[in-house]
A and B are shown apart, each in its own frame.
Chain A
Amino acid sequence: DAGITQSPRHKVTETGTPVTLRCHQTENHRYMYWYRQDPGHGLRLIHYSYGVKDTDKGEVSDGYSVSRSKTEDFLLTLESATSSQTSVYFCAISEATGPTFFGSGTRLTVV
């Protein structure tokens, strides 16, 4: 299994609070991604990174920010959580060519 660790695995938070999810890799892959998975929508890209401090928006980036200060860590922040951000969040890694590997996911509930 690719070395990808997501933390926390589960989180319940209140509307309006900031939340940070962490993805840590031990594979030294260049590209890192944050996806959310919702029923009826499949997986949708939130943000991705193509190197340290190099990030770009995905399909559903509103309300989210990311940071990558080290190759191995990619953080996803919800500045002010809303109920619509209740979802399962997956981190993924890849090289320029070759397969993409996913972490185990973080289940976030905003109440």
Chain B
Amino acid sequence: GIQVEQSPPDLILQEGANSTLRCNFSDSVNNLQWFHQNPWGQLINLFYIPSGTKQNGRLSATTVATERYSLLYISSSQTTDSGVYFCAVERNTGNQFYFGTGTSLTVIP
């Protein structure tokens, strides 16, 4: 399988701070997605981003497929951003996704 490493494993931020989460993967991939798992366990798709840069409000993501990494930027963090952020990669379309073990984010007021 593909190894997916996320860093940092844990992050504590003051509300309003910015942060960058990183995802490194060990092989060429066809697909990369970022998910947020909220404290109630719900998994929410943030970005479908096999390459390039996308922005959605205070969140943005960049994937450099040739260098096998992706970054998730969170600006002006809010307490509702707390939870675990997962990166997941897929080698072939409609096949198996490999998840990283996540970055646990806590935003304190």
Name A residues whose Cβ lies closer than 8 Å to a Cβ of B.
Answer: 30-31, 33, 40-45, 48, 50, 58-59, 88, 90, 94, 96-102, 104-105
Contact = CB atoms under 8 A, between A and B. Distances in A.
A58 B96 CA distance: 7
B102 interface: yes
A45 B3 CA distance: 14
Interface of B: 1, 31, 33, 35, 41-45, 48, 86, 88, 93-97, 99-102
Given A33-B97, A48-B94, A99-B33, 6 more contacts: A42-B101, A43-B86, A90-B43, A100-B97, A102-B35, A102-B45
A22 B101 CA distance: 26
A45 B43 contact: no
22 contacts: A30-B94, A31-B94, A41-B101, A42-B99, A42-B100, A42-B101, A43-B99, A45-B96, A45-B97, A48-B95, A48-B96, A50-B94, A94-B94, A96-B94, A99-B45, A100-B48, A101-B45, A102-B43, A102-B45, A104-B41, A104-B42, A105-B42
Contacts of B43: 90, 102, 105
A98 to B, nearest CB: 6
A88 B94 contact: no
A105 B35 CA distance: 15
